[in-house]
Amino acid sequence: MSDLLDALEKSIDDLRRAIRDASAAGDTERAGELRAQLRRAERAWDALIDADEPAATPLVFDPTAALDVRGSMLPAREHVHRALMLLGAPAAPKLIIGVHEAFFPGELSASKLSSLRRDEERSYRSAPGARPYYLCPALAHDLLSPVRALITISTWTLEQRIIGPLSPRVDFLTSAVRIADTVRTVTKSAETGPSPAALRLLWRFAVTIPGAVPTEVAGHDAALDPQQVIDAAEAELDVHTDADHATRAEAARRARKRLSEDQQLFGTSLQDIKRLQAEG
């Protein structure tokens, strides 16, 4: 719990400095966004202080945590949080389960994920900010409606949680880099190396990225070079990232102006979409 509190306290300090800098620069839009993030971080800090049970999940992913058998005792939402933190991008339940199987102990099923998404929104609306984070849907860039097939984390920025036309590919490549780096780290730190499930997962990413698979490799995932996968994914990311970021940033600006804090996390309803369209 102390590590999580330390991380939150550092985040709070950083946010306060950023708010001061944005205000001094006259950037009211950025200052407002940062204040909302600060309020969420402070509520998360309060929730941890008041919690009866210690928090089990760090704010950043540690590949060696995959070797800790105590992870098998974590609740489903913690498993999902760890998988998403590893991926660093919105993900579908099938991919989240695949990452969990590849790197973490314990059981995570599709049925648990289905009920979990409903429970998270219900929990937020009954006591906003009572938890350090919430699992929430990605938001479509055009209507700012929930993309229910993709799960994100509430502590991520709006830009990271929004999905534009290029975002699926950018997020795929981003996750490929993170998966490859984790496989490489586990290879160096673990006595047994990465699991067969981890190698299969890396292979599934690599075969769709030009230049990620050596020409002499034919269906043997263990022969993949994680660094080659990283280099190939980053090369393609260079092509798409700027355009994708521009779309997400524009949608995030609209969301901050038009949506309430809970809508920025869980999206707009059909009724809200019609109202926003009528307002132009």
Q: Which of 8-12, 70-74, 193-197, 227-231 is most confident?
A: 227-231
Count other Cβ atoms within 10 Å, centred on residue 272: 17
Query: How much is the pLDDT for 8?
Result: 67
**Partners of 163 in beta bridges:** 140
- The structure tokens 């660093």 sit at 88
Query: How much is the pLDDT for 1?
Result: 44
44-48 long-range contacts, CB within 8 A, separation 24+: 44/8, 44/129, 44/131, 44/132, 44/133, 44/155, 45/5, 45/8, 45/9, 45/12, 47/129, 47/130, 47/131, 47/132, 48/1, 48/4, 48/5, 48/8, 48/132
DSSP of 185-220, one letter per residue? HHHHH-SS-S-HHHHHHHHHHHTTSTT-S-TT-SS-
At 96, which helix (H) or strand (E)? Answer: helix 93-103
Q: What is the mean pLDDT of residues 170-174?
A: 98
Give the C-alpha separation, 130 to 58, whole Å: 17
Question: Looking at per-residue confidence, does 275 or 12 come out higher?
Answer: 12
Read off the pTM: 0.74
The beta-strand segments (E) located in the chain are: 135-140, 146-153, 162-163
Count other Cβ atoms within 10 Å, centred on residue 215: 6
For the chain, domain boundaries: 1-55
Lowest mean pLDDT, pick from 57-66, 133-142, 219-228? 57-66
Query: How much is the pLDDT for 99?
Result: 96
Task: Work out whether strand 135-140 and strand 162-163 pair parallel, antiparallel, or are unpaired.
Answer: parallel
Query: How much is the pLDDT for 25?
Result: 83
- pLDDT for 223-232, tens place per residue? 799 999 999 9
- pLDDT for 87-124, tens place per residue? 999 999 999 999 999 998 888 888 888 888 889 999 99
Lowest mean pLDDT, pick from 29-38, 153-162, 196-205, 214-223? 214-223
- pLDDT band for 28, please (50, 70, 90 cuts): confident
Task: Calculate the alpha carbon distances from 146 to 123, 151, 162 in Å.
Answer: 17, 10, 9
The beta-strand segments (E) located in 78-187 are: 135-140, 146-153, 162-163
Residues 99, 83 contacting (CB under 8 angstroms): yes
Give the C-alpha separation, 237 to 157, whole Å: 19
- DSSP label at residue 69: G
Q: Which pair of tokens denotes residue 98?
A: 């695949």
Answer whether residue 191 shows pLDDT above 80: no
Query: How much is the pLDDT for 19?
Result: 86
Residues 233, 171 contacting (CB under 8 angstroms): no
Question: Looking at per-residue confidence, does 111 or 189 come out higher?
Answer: 111
